[in-house]
Amino acid sequence: MKTIVQFFILFFLSFNLLAQEKNYIIPEGYEEYISQKDYKFLVDKSVKIISKNFKVEKVKEGTIYLEDGQAYSLVNLHNLIMKCHQMDKKEWTPLLKAHFQSMTTSIDEHKNNDFTDFVTAKKYLSIRIYPKEFVQSNGGVETLITREDLEGTYSVIMLDLPSSFSPLMKSDTENWNISKEEIFKYAQENVNKQEILKETHPIEVNNSTINVSFIGNEDYAASIALDLEKNAPEFVGEWGCVLAIPNKGIASLCKISKDNPVDFVLYIQKFNLITDQFYNEHPQPVSKDFYWYYKGKFQKIQLVIEDNTIQVINPLGLTKLMGEM
């Protein structure tokens, strides 16, 4: 009888897996990081693991959609594609198991803590920066607490739990009686407590030497850079600085001062391809763009690229400051 029951369970699970709609088309932009065969393996293995705790509806364009009424509505595979790209294939299965186990761990941590209570949630508040399209496909601004600091991205309020990062939902804060600005203030204060690596190095560019600074922290570098006045004031000149934040773990910066007013142009020309690479090859990218930072505000810098030549369009505000010399 036991054998018959086991066979029935295996048949039922197999039937469920077969019934799920799977699209094996590699997400646009990720074709160079995974083969069709390996992507199919990634999808099938992910669905098999997830199905132990969740009911899967379909897989499409790098996203696993779950049936309604569960703790999650969808799971993106984009980050996993990038992680797997950097690993030997024999390490993929343990990675996937650990990754999806964190989903259930996060649910348990939510159950064990009442995050609708501000006092409970306050110490866990944190910030992550994501590309806009990623946020829109993972709950969107309708359900998440977001702010646009860097054009093309959203800063998202997260819960930095002991074993995972989890987004804080707007619905969790309905009874907090504090503003979104205050939530971000408390979250940034928590971020600012993190230890970071700060370094400045001379870089040779077109027979000139410029100083480029770096902020490093595997999880928080991008969020640390949102508050440069407190976290790295030495990297900010009279006219601010230009910075790039390609992924969550690193930011590069070039100070703008009266003594070195155009170093930032050489910095952009030197670091444009490097920034692209650090964005494309990281599982949690932020932005490929460069931003002018001045007095707490970020403005995207426009570039014109033709025949491998980069022309930097000065932000109007920076041009005005330079004109006041």
**What is the per-residue pLDDT for 325?**
63
Do residue 129 and residue 236 come from a single domain? no
The total number of structural domains in the chain stands at 3
Say if residue 301's pLDDT is above 90. Answer: yes
* Percent of the chain surpassing pLDDT 90: 61
Say if residue 161's pLDDT is above 50. Answer: yes
**Residue pair 301/312 in contact by the 8 Å Cβ criterion:** yes
Do residue 214 and residue 298 come from a single domain? yes
Cα separation, 321 vs 258, whole angstroms? 10
**69 against 150, higher pLDDT:** 150
> Across-strand partners of 65?
58, 74
**What is the per-residue pLDDT for 27?**
85
Three-state SS for 313?
strand
Cα separation, 118 vs 172, whole angstroms? 9
264 alpha-carbon distance from chain centroid: 25
Do residue 5 and residue 102 come from a single domain? yes
Do residue 96 and residue 156 come from a single domain? no
Say if residue 149's pLDDT is above 60. Answer: yes
**How many alpha carbons fall within 13 Å on the CB side of residue 48?**
11
**How many alpha carbons fall within 13 Å on the CB side of residue 131?**
17
Say if residue 23's pLDDT is above 50. Answer: yes
Do residue 135 and residue 212 come from a single domain? no
The last residue of a domain, from among 141, 162, 191:
191
Position 10 confidence tier, pLDDT thresholds 50, 70, 90: very low
Do residue 75 and residue 138 come from a single domain? no
Mean pLDDT of the chain: 88
Say if residue 18's pLDDT is above 50. Answer: no
**29 against 117, higher pLDDT:** 117
pLDDT tens, residue by residue, 68-92: 877 666 788 887 888 898 899 999 9
Q: Is the dihedral of CA 245, 249, 252, 255 positive or negative?
A: positive
Cα separation, 109 vs 290, whole angstroms? 37
Q: Could you list the residue range(s) of the whole structural domain that residue 224 is in?
A: 197-323
Choose the weakest-confidence range: 64-73, 212-221, 232-241: 64-73
Do residue 268 and residue 162 come from a single domain? no
Say if residue 300's pLDDT is above 80. Answer: yes
**What is the per-residue pLDDT for 196?**
93
Do residue 47 and residue 150 come from a single domain? no
**115 against 273, higher pLDDT:** 273
Say if residue 236's pLDDT is above 80. Answer: yes
Number of residues in the chain = 325
pTM summary value? 0.75
The last residue of a domain, from among 71, 89, 112:
112
Say if residue 5's pLDDT is above 60. Answer: no
Average pLDDT of span 320-325: 82
Q: Is the dihedral of CA 76, 130, 224, 126 positive or negative?
A: negative
**What is the per-residue pLDDT for 19?**
47
Average pLDDT of span 233-247: 97
Position 199 confidence tier, pLDDT thresholds 50, 70, 90: very high
Longest alpha-carbon distance in the chain:
89
**Residue pair 245/253 in contact by the 8 Å Cβ criterion:** no
**What is the per-residue pLDDT for 156?**
97
Q: At 293, give phi and psi (nearest 5°).
A: -105, 130
Choose the weakest-confidence range: 74-88, 227-241, 278-292, 305-319: 74-88
**What is the per-residue pLDDT for 76?**
80
Do residue 17 and residue 73 come from a single domain? yes
Say if residue 250's pLDDT is above 60. Answer: yes
**What is the per-residue pLDDT for 14?**
47
Say if residue 36's pLDDT is above 90. Answer: yes
Do residue 276 and residue 168 come from a single domain? no
The last residue of a domain, from among 89, 112, 135:
112
Cα separation, 103 vs 121, whole angstroms? 19
Do residue 31 and residue 78 come from a single domain? yes
Do residue 235 and residue 283 come from a single domain? yes
Position 112 confidence tier, pLDDT thresholds 50, 70, 90: low
**What is the per-residue pLDDT for 89?**
94
